[in-house]
Amino acid sequence: MILVTAFEPFGNSSLNPSQLVLQALEKNLKYSRTHKFLLLPVDYQTGPEVLLKALRSEKFQACISFGQAGGRSKISLERVAINWKEKDFNLDQSIKPGPLVINEPEAFINNEDLLALKLKLLEHNLPAEISLSAGAYVCNAVYYFAMKEKIKSLFVHLPFLPEQNQSGQPSLSFQQQRLAAEILIENFN
């Protein structure tokens, strides 16, 4: 069984491409027996808590998480999760920059063959990259806690959808993002 997660919309947006992709995957009967789907809140505390509760309640072979990265032009396969959080203008302003967890590793590096996954995406004419930074917000926090659980993990940042495009920022169609997610969950095992 593979756990697939995504995030609800946050900030001023009513859309999050990761949520829409998750919902499409969940409706696909092809994945119903082999995958469990979970929508996470965009919150430093409850996002990781919901993820950890799911990971500890069932034996999963892997965890694949999707999130939104506005401003990026490619599907980003994240290599590194850091033990750090930053204040974000869209999130709780009481957040103070600092470690996610005291006295824990500063980072986890994903040693999986991300290049093979990137090449699979490129074969389908999908823009893809290996990114060395999942940021320092809730996406990174979820990735860090998944990797801390020692489960095979992957975090994927998706660009904005065209309807989210503001002032010429990069975007990628829903169909392309859904196809990318299908390729990734079928090849990350």
Q: What are the chain's domains?
A: 2-187 (3.40.630.20)
Mean pLDDT of 71-85: 95
Please write the tens of the pLDDT for every residue from 19-48.
999 999 999 989 989 999 999 999 989 999
pLDDT at 92: 61
Residue 169 in this model has a pLDDT that exceeds 60: yes
No. of helices (H) and no. of strands (E), the chain: 5, 8
Selected catalytic residue, list 8, 63, 78, 123: 78
pLDDT at residue 127 above 60?
Answer: yes
When the pLDDT of each residue in the chain is averaged and rounded to a whole number, the result is: 93
Is 139 an active-site residue? yes
Considering the candidates 139, 149, 163, 186, report the single residue annotated as catalytic.
139
| 63-76 tens-digit pLDDT | 999 999 988 999 99
Q: What is the pLDDT of residues 55-65, one digit of tens each?
A: 999 999 999 99
Residues 70, 73: Cα–Cα separation, whole Å: 8
- pLDDT tens by residue, 101-118: 999 999 999 999 999 999
Quote the pTM value. Answer: 0.94
Q: CA 91 → CA 48, 71, 180, distances in Å?
A: 15, 18, 28
Contact call for residues 62 and 188 (beta carbons, < 8 A): yes
- Return the pLDDT at 41: 95
State yes or no: is 63 an active-site residue: no
124 flagged as catalytic: no
Catalytic residue (choose from 157, 163, 182, 186): 157
